[in-house]
Amino acid sequence: MRVLLVGAGGVGTAITRIAARRSFFEHMTVADYDLGRAETAVAALGDSGARFGAARLDASDPAAVRAALTEHRCDVLLNATDPRFVMPLFEAALAHGAHYLDMAMSLSRPHPSRPYEECGVKLGDAQFERAADWEAAGRLALVGIGVEPGLSDVFARYASDELFDEIDEIGIRDGADLTVEGYDFAPSFSIWTTIEECLNPPVVYEEDRGWFTTEPFSEPEMFDFPEGIGPVECVNVEHEEVLLVPRWLKARRVTFKYGLGEEFIGVLRTLHKLGLDRTDPVSVKSGAGAAEVSPRDVVAACLPDPAGLGERMHGKTCAGTWVKGTKDGRPREVYLYHVVDNQWSMREYGSQAVVWQTAVNPVAALELLAGGIWSGTGVLGPEALPPRPFLDLLNEYGAPWGMREQ
């Protein structure tokens, strides 16, 4: 297996550090718009970096992506960029005949007149529209294979296969007790992506209603997270799992709730009020003349790079899937979860907890695909594939998961 990894930010760099310890692939080319960043990611591997190379690549240019796949003889494209670049990378992989993996799906657009009641364009719609073309090509696009979406979807499939006869609700619940020294506000993940998912209308699925939307930050609830994190208020957020799980699994309701905290929600609402969450460029005067700048890109540029916060971060992050239903005629409720302690991930890999937790899952998926344990054609979510091999491999990676009976 020869892999083109596109994106050498926090998650992409963590992918290289995890993959360097595994033997399943022949070569991985690390590509980024900033060649220096790709070279730094490879150089940091030291003696473990013999199977890695660096390249400059514009992820928005499908022709350039196809050329890179050809030049480096890659049969898999792993997308570790932000969601803006999903479709050009997805299309380039299909045109080249490569398999494709990503951790975030094609962008949504709110309903033009009823944004908080009806779906417009849903997350992943553009990719699923091309499913027949991927099937005809005999290639696999494995979408949403980070931690959320990704591991959370694997948990949902595992619960459906082995833990429940009937499921009332599958609810992804994400929370943390992470703090960052020296900053009043420092997101632990890409602020561009965080704004996108938190300020878009959240999607909920109900069996008798299908997909529908609500107001941002709706349905607050306190959820008690394991391993010392404790109770965190969680709210509805737009996320891929709600669009993926019902395509393969039967559940009466599917939700995603994120533990953001009152301060974080307040900052996001202020950005929205000021129009600083917008992605369309505005004209800004500068010493060099007028410049066209996206307000959201300005916000991202003003905040610290999440990949560089690890030394200042303390605490744990938890991703998991809460499932309620019946087994053998009796009510059952479980929480399947994965916790990463930032001190551990920094000590073992030099990557902060949130990006490491995201990165380990596509590497494990690549290993299963390389070994023929996972396979398929078309556009598939993680819940379309058998969960047990993936969960067992996570344990082998030193990333054990847990289950709590509620």
Q: Report the pLDDT value the prediction gives residue 188, as an integer from 0 to 100.
A: 72
Q: Report the pLDDT value the prediction gives residue 347, as an integer from 0 to 100.
A: 95
Report the chain's terminal Cα–Cα distance, integer Å.
Answer: 41
User: Which helix (H) or strand (E) is 378 found in, with range?
Assistant: strand 378-380
Q: Which residues contact 177 (CB under 8 A, 6 or more apart)?
A: 228, 229, 230, 232, 315, 316
Answer yes or no: are the C-beta atoms of 102 and 7 closer than 8 Å. Answer: no
- Integer Rg of the chain from CA: 20
Q: Report the pLDDT value the prediction gives residue 265, as an integer from 0 to 100.
A: 83
Q: Report the pLDDT value the prediction gives residue 308, as an integer from 0 to 100.
A: 77
Answer yes or no: are the C-beta atoms of 389 and 368 closer than 8 Å. Answer: yes
Could you report the average pLDDT of every consecutive run of 10 residues in the chain (406 residues)? 97 97 97 97 96 98 98 98 95 98 96 96 98 98 98 98 98 93 76 82 97 95 96 95 98 95 84 87 84 87 79 92 97 98 96 96 98 98 98 94 95
The neighbouring-strand residues paired with 150 are 146
Q: CA nearest 177: which of 316, 307, 310, 309?
A: 316
CA torsion sign for 214, 220, 224, 230 is: positive
Does the model's pTM come out above 0.85? yes
CA distance 81 to 58: 11
* Phi, psi torsion values for 33, nearest 5 degrees: -60, -35
Residue 345 vs residues 49, 122, 282, 341: alpha-carbon distances, Å: 19, 34, 39, 6
